[in-house]
Chain A
Amino acid sequence: DVKVTQSSRYLVKRTGEKVFLECVQDMDHENMFWYRQDPGLGLRLIYFSYDVKMKEKGDIPEGYSVSREKKERFSLILESASTNQTSMYLCASRRSGANVLTFGAGSRLTVL
């Protein structure tokens, strides 16, 4: 069964900490995405990547960065976590040219 795996389901961090959220897919997909999900706001795109070492800003990139050193792995980085980054983070991937996203189960981050 094809999968997108997010390594941490639940994280609790303190304000100012550097946070890494990891996402790995086993489908050899070229495109990967990071969204955050908040009640009443739905899903908002943070960053996406067309391919290895490529990245593009989404709608809300402020306070985040990403890394795509290998095709299967797309990391979301919070350089200095803040309380307003408490959220559910969803990773997704897609084969280039396809229009269906496959999502991971999500990482729920709480910043105290």
Chain B
Amino acid sequence: GDSVTQMEGPVTLSEEAFLTINCTYTATGYPSLFWYVQYPGEGLQLLLKATKADDKGSNKGFEATYRKETTSFHLEKGSVQVSDSAVYFCALNLEDSGYALNFGKGTSLLVTP
């Protein structure tokens, strides 16, 4: 079935370092792809999305490009801040589940000063 695989964490970076969190997907159709972020003690919130191949989603300095040829949607940020410490989830929508989202297992990011 449709699924996403994202790199395992935790990832620990120093402030201003470059961030990449890898995400690859398996899908029979053409899903939309998402990155959600969960800050400590909170629910998930949408960070960015892309609905078709070669689309680039961006928000708060984060970017991800929908790559159909490599079935990937890697999350990047050029310079992370302590406030970016959170758990990041890659997800795709499932056409046969009422367009519910299928999430990866999450990648925990800790940014140190």
Contact = CB atoms under 8 A, between A and B. Distances in A.
Interface of A: 4, 31, 33, 35, 40-43, 45, 48, 50, 56, 58, 90, 92, 94, 99-101, 103-106
A94 B100 CA distance: 9
B22 to A, nearest CB: 15
| Listed residue (A4, A43, A48, A92) with the most chain B CB atoms within 10 angstroms of its CB | A43
Contact of A48 (B44, B46, B98, B102): B98
B97 A48 contact: yes
Given A58-B97, A99-B32, A42 B49 contact: no
A43 B91 CA distance: 10
B101 A101 contact: yes
B45 interface: yes
Nearest to A31: B98
Nearest to B103: A43
B105 A58 contact: no
Nearest to B41: A105
Given A42-B106, A103-B45, 7 more contacts: A33-B100, A42-B104, A48-B97, A48-B98, A50-B98, A99-B93, A103-B36
A110 to B, nearest CB: 16
Nearest to A4: B43
Nearest to B94: A45
Contacts of A43: 44, 89, 101, 103, 106
A43 B3 CA distance: 12
16 contacts: A4-B43, A42-B106, A43-B101, A43-B103, A43-B106, A48-B97, A56-B98, A58-B97, A58-B100, A92-B44, A99-B32, A99-B51, A100-B49, A103-B43, A103-B44, A103-B45
